[in-house]
Amino acid sequence: MIKANQPDFFFPWLERFVAAGSPWGCDGTTVGLDGTLCLHLTGAGQQVDLMWDVGTPREDKPTFRGGSLWVERASSTDPRLGKAALRHVAARLTAMFHKHTPALLTRRNRELVDVRFGPGLLESLCGEILCVGQTRRADHLLAEATHRDRAFELRFRSSGSELLMHLVPRGAPAKGEVVRDYGPCALCTARMPASDAERSILDFVGYVLALSMHPQMRFIEDAAGSARSDAGAQRLINPFLHDAVPADISLMNALQGCSGGLSMVAHSDRECLSYCPLMTGPSQSLYLTRPELRPNLEFLRRLRLTDLSEQAVIMSGGEGALASLLQETIEQDEPALLVAIDSCVPRLIGDDSVAVVQQARREHRNLPTINVEIRLDEADNQRAFWRDLVRELSQSKARTPGKAVNLIGFGSPRTRSLPELQELLSSMSVRTNACVVPTFDIDEMRRFRDADLNLVFPAKHVREAFELAQPECGVVGAEAAAPFGLEGTRAWLLEVANLLAVEPPGEPFFQQRMSSLRARWDALARRAAGHRVGVVLLDCHFREPDCMVRMGVPWLGCLDEMGFALEVMVVRTHAHAGSHERDFQHARQRLGEVLRSHSGLSVTKVDALDALGDLLRKGKFELVYTEVAQDRRVTTAGKVPVSPFDFEMGFQGGLRTLRRLLNLAETPFFQRYHQHLPPADWKP
Amino acid sequence: MRTLAFYGKGGIGKTTVATNISVLFAKDGRRVLQVGCDPKHDSSYKLVAREQVRTVMGLLQVPGTQTLTREQVVMHGRMGVDCVETGGPEPGVGCAGRGITRMFEVLGEAKVLESGYDVVVYDVLGDVVCGGFAAPLRRGFAREVYVVASGEIMALYAANNICRAIVTHARNGVALAGVVANLRGSSKELATLQAFAARIGSRLLHPIPQHEAVQEAERHSRTVIEHAPDCAIAHDYTALFGEIQATTQEDCCIPRPLEDTEFEQFVLNAMVA
Ligand SMILES: Nc1ncnc2c1ncn2[C@@H]1O[C@H](COP(=O)(O)OP(=O)(O)OP(=O)(O)O)[C@@H](O)[C@H]1O
Ligand SMILES: [Mg+2]
Burial B105-139 (b: 16+ CB within 10 A, else e): ebbeebebbeeebebbbbbbbbbbeeebbbbbbee
Q: What is the mean pLDDT of residues A449-463?
A: 90
Interchain proximity A316–B99, CB inside 8 Å:
no
At A178, is the secondary structure helix, strand, or coil? strand
For chain B, the DSSP string reads -EEEEEEESTTSSHHHHHHHHHHHHHHTT--EEEEEE-TT--TTTTTS-GGG--BHHHHHHSTT-----HHHH-EE-GGGEEEEE---PPTTSS-HHHHHHHHHHHHHHTT-TTS--SEEEEEE-SS--SGGGGGGGSTTS--EEEEEE-SSHHHHHHHHHHHHHHHHTGGGT-EEEEEEEB----TTHHHHHHHHHHHTT--B---B---HHHHHHHHTT--HHHH-TTSHHHHHHHHHHHHHHH--GGG-B---PPPHHHHHHHHHHHHH-
Interchain proximity A315–B88, CB inside 8 Å:
yes
State the nearest Cα–Cα gap between A539 and chain B, in angstroms. 49
Cα torsion for A414, A419, A421, A424, to the nearest 10°? 170
Interchain proximity A349–B94, CB inside 8 Å:
yes
pLDDT in tens, B226-262: 999 999 999 999 999 999 999 999 999 999 999 999 9
Last residue of a domain, one of A99, A131, A162: A99
Least confident residue range of A61-70, A85-94, A291-300 = A291-300
Taking all residues of chain A, what is their mean pLDDT, rounded to a whole number?
A: 79
Beta-bridge partners for A53: A36, A68
Interchain proximity A311–B93, CB inside 8 Å:
no
Alpha-carbon distance of A619 to A624, in angstroms, equals 10
Q: Among all ligands shown, which has an atom nearest to the Cα of B44?
A: 2
Instruction: Select the more confidently predicted residue: A95 or B125.
Output: B125
pLDDT in tens, B67-97: 899 999 999 999 999 999 999 999 888 899 8
Please tell me whether residues A582 and A441 are part of one structural domain: no
Phi-psi region of B2 (alpha: psi -120 to 50; beta: other; left: phi over 0): beta
Interface of B with A (CB under 8 A): 57, 60-61, 88-90, 93-96, 98-99, 102
Strand A369-372 relative to strand A303-305: parallel, antiparallel, unpaired? Answer: unpaired
- Choose the mutation target among B37, B98, B105, B129 for the interface with A, i.e. most A CBs under 10 Å: B98
The band of A2, judged by pLDDT with boundaries at 50, 70 and 90, is: very low
How many beta carbons lie within 10 A of that of residue A529, not counting itself?
14
Number of domains forming the structure of chain A: 5
Least confident residue range of A4-8, A618-622, B153-157 = A4-8
pLDDT of residue A277: 42
Q: B90 contacts in A (CB within 8 Å)?
A: 316
**Which of these, A674, A671, A640, A651, lies nearest to A564 by C-alpha position?**
A640
Q: Is B13 in the pocket of ligand 1 (CB under 6 A)?
A: yes
Q: A306 contacts in B (CB within 8 Å)?
A: none
Q: Of B27, B40, B42, B251, which residue is the catalytic one?
A: B40
Taking all residues of chain B, what is their mean pLDDT, rounded to a whole number?
A: 93
pLDDT in tens, A360-407: 999 998 899 998 876 655 555 666 888 899 999 999 888 899 999 999
Please tell me whether residues A213 and A189 are part of one structural domain: yes
Q: Is residue A73 part of a domain?
A: yes
Please tell me whether residues A276 and A161 are part of one structural domain: no
pLDDT in tens, A198-254: 887 887 788 788 777 877 788 887 543 333 332 222 222 222 222 334 445 667 777
CATH of the domain at A290: 3.40.50.1980
Please tell me whether residues A190 and A281 are part of one structural domain: no
Please tell me whether residues A527 and A481 are part of one structural domain: no
Q: Among all ligands shown, which has an atom nearest to the Cα of B219?
A: 1
What atom of ligand 1 comes closest to residue B218's alpha carbon? 31
pLDDT in tens, A28-64: 777 666 667 788 898 878 899 998 876 677 888 888 8
Please tell me whether residues A403 and A447 are part of one structural domain: yes
User: What residue owns the CA closest to ligand 1's atom 28?
Assistant: B13
Please tell me whether residues A387 and A407 are part of one structural domain: no
Last residue of a domain, one of A392, A414, A438: A392
Please tell me whether residues A664 and A547 are part of one structural domain: yes
How many beta carbons lie within 10 A of that of residue A589, not counting itself?
12
Beta-bridge partners for A42: A25, A47
Please tell me whether residues A383 and A496 are part of one structural domain: no
What is the whole-number distance in angstroms between the Cα of residue B201 and the centre of ligand 2? Answer: 26
pLDDT in tens, B254-269: 999 999 999 999 998 8
pLDDT of residue B29: 96
Q: Is B182 in the pocket of ligand 1 (CB under 6 A)?
A: yes
Position A432 pLDDT exceeds 70: yes
pLDDT of residue A681: 62
User: What residue owns the CA closest to ligand 1's atom 29?
Assistant: B215
Alpha-carbon distance of A238 to A643, in angstroms, equals 11
- Is position B40 annotated as part of the catalytic site? yes
Candidate of B9, B15, B45, B47 to mutate for ligand 1, largest count of ligand atoms within 8 Å of Cβ: B15
What atom of ligand 1 comes closest to residue B123's alpha carbon? 22
Please tell me whether residues A557 and A457 are part of one structural domain: no
Ordered alpha helix ranges (H), A302-340:
310-315, 319-333
Least confident residue range of A324-338, A611-625, A633-647 = A633-647
Interchain proximity B93–A313, CB inside 8 Å:
no
pLDDT in tens, A473-523: 889 999 999 999 999 999 999 999 999 999 999 999 999 999 989 999 999
Alpha-carbon distance of B181 to B195, in angstroms, equals 12
Please tell me whether residues A77 and A46 are part of one structural domain: yes
CATH of the domain at B85: 3.40.50.300
How many beta carbons lie within 10 A of that of residue A551, not counting itself?
20
Please tell me whether residues A147 and A196 are part of one structural domain: yes
Are residues A268 and A343 in contact, defined by beta-carbon separation less than 8 angstroms?
Answer: yes
Q: What is the mean pLDDT of residues B195-203?
A: 96
Interchain proximity B95–A311, CB inside 8 Å:
no
Q: Is B214 in the pocket of ligand 1 (CB under 6 A)?
A: yes
User: What residue owns the CA closest to ligand 1's atom 8?
Assistant: B13
Q: A310 contacts in B (CB within 8 Å)?
A: 98, 102
Q: Is residue A26 part of a domain?
A: yes
Omega cis (within 30) before A438: yes
CA distances from B7 to A213, B69, B125, B207 (A): 59, 28, 7, 16
Q: What is the mean pLDDT of residues B197-217?
A: 96
Number of domains forming the structure of chain B: 1
The domain in which residue B261 lies consists of: 2-272
Q: What is the mean pLDDT of residues A173-178?
A: 88
User: Reading across the β-sheet that carries A303-305, which strands appear in turn?
Assistant: A303-305, A262-266, A337-341, A369-372
Last residue of a domain, one of A373, A392, A411: A392
Q: Is residue A228 part of a domain?
A: no
Alpha-carbon distance of A56 to A39, in angstroms, equals 17
Q: Of B27, B42, B118, B127, which residue is the catalytic one?
A: B127
CATH of the domain at A574: 3.40.50
The domain in which residue A501 lies consists of: 399-508
Least confident residue range of A62-71, A160-169, A436-445, A593-602 = A593-602
Q: B37 contacts in A (CB within 8 Å)?
A: none
What residue type is assigned to position A556 of the chain? L
